[in-house]
Structure 1
């Protein structure tokens, strides 16, 4: 599967840290410091994407970390609706949903923003979540099925030596064209080049290539075709992956041990 300029699914982490901190988190959130994306940076980037795509952004997902932790969440939803005519998703682990203000539920309904809930094996106040969603007509979407306290999860192991074939890895990667990551004016086909810095800092490690060779500057690109061409080619960070070889593990909160990722 290749990136199609008319069907790009952009994801943006507006928060790096999380209130759940899953073992082996793909965004390295348990290792991240508290950080909130600047609203002006977000709007500038969406404005540029809107320009490149001539007003036809297919999909944008507001993610984290835990997106609901951002104190300006309302503004992010409004700005997304301003520039994105297509699918708009607000992704969450659900912990804060029961106490989330009615104002946000109403705003999501008015902007046709779907609240997407990843179904971790944790207890949520579903009666209150459904009450608020039904009150305003807010769309909810559950990602994965509800499990018990011993729910199985997945670990995406990495090659700490970076000896994997980048071409083969890229060609067989399930995610390469499904989640295009936007971070501060740059796009990548993978989240690792942007987020592995947390791993490097926490474990004082040089593992992972987090250089700008893994991403493209949306302000320097001449057009969307140049960006799509970049996204459809392997990046240096591909050498650390074992694509489609996830290991099934028991879900649990991270202990911040290096073997959760390696």
Structure 2
């Protein structure tokens, strides 16, 4: 699978921390401090992407951490609808959905934003969630594994020493081209270069390559073709992955143990 300029699925973490904190989280959210994406930065970046893609942003997903924790969630939804002509998703673990104000459900319905809920083995009030969704015609999509009521959970172990072959890893990576990460004016084919800083700080580790070589500046790129070319090539951080060592595990809350990631 390769990145095609007319089918890019962008994800933006508007919050780094989480209220669920799954073990082994790929975004390292259990290790992240409380932080919120600046709304002005978000709009400026979307405006630039809109120009690069001639007003045809294929898909944008607001994520985290837990996106519903952002105090300016409504503003993010409105700006997303302003610049994204294609698919628009608000991704959540569902914990806060039953208490989410009606105006959020209404805004999602009015702007064509789908609320995507990852189906973790936790108790949430689906009756209330669907009552609110039905009230305004809000689209709810449940993210779960094929044939399952819930999403299967996997451990994606890393090579702390970065001794793997980056090109081979990139070729075998399931996630490449599926989720292009936008953060602070830069895009990458992987979330790790942006989020591994939380791992590094918490465990006082030099593992992972978090340099700017892993991403491309959307303001310095001449056009979308230059960005796409970059996204279809391995990055330095690829050498820390073990794509053939993924293992299914039982979901649970993180204990912030380094073994969850290596």
Which category of TM-score, normalised to the shorter sequence, fits these structures? over 0.9
Q: Distance in 1 between matches of 2:243 and 2:173?
A: 5
Distance 1:109 1:243, change over 3 A: same
Q: Give runs of aligned pairs for residues 158-177 of structure 1, distance below 5 A.
A: 158-177=158-177
Q: Distance in 2 between matches of 1:236 and 1:243?
A: 15
Q: Which residue of 1 aligns with 2:65?
A: 65
Query: Quick check: 171-180 or 8-17, which moved more?
Result: 171-180
1:24-75 deviations in Å (ceiling 9; x for gaps): 0000000000000000000000000000000000000000000000000000
Query: Quick check: 105-114 or 152-161, which moved more?
Result: 152-161
Q: Distance in 2 between matches of 1:46 and 1:235?
A: 24
Q: Give runs of aligned pairs for residues 192-207 of structure 1, distance below 5 A.
A: 192-207=192-207
8 Å CA contact 1:66–1:92 kept in 2: the answer is yes
Q: Which runs of 5+ in 2 are unaligned?
A: none
Q: Which residue of 1 aligns with 2:187?
A: 187
User: After TM superposition, which residue ranges in structure 1, 4 or more long, deviate above 4 angstroms?
Assistant: none
Q: Distance in 2 between matches of 1:43 and 1:119?
A: 30
What is the Cα deviation at residue 152 of structure 1?
5.2
| 2:124 counterpart of 1:146 | no
Q: Which residue of 1 aligns with 2:23?
A: 23
| 2:243 counterpart of 1:243 | yes
Q: Which residue of 2 aligns with 1:34?
A: 34
Q: Distance in 2 between matches of 1:245 and 1:129?
A: 37
In the alignment of these two chains, the number of paired residues is: 259
Q: Which runs of 5+ in 1 are unaligned?
A: none
What is the Cα deviation at residue 260 of structure 1?
0.3
SS at match of 2:259: helix
Q: Distance in 2 between matches of 1:155 and 1:175?
A: 14
SS at match of 2:106: helix
Q: Distance in 1 between matches of 2:246 and 2:135?
A: 40
What is the Cα deviation at residue 244 of structure 1?
4.6
| 2:125 counterpart of 1:125 | yes
Q: Distance in 1 between matches of 2:160 and 2:204?
A: 13
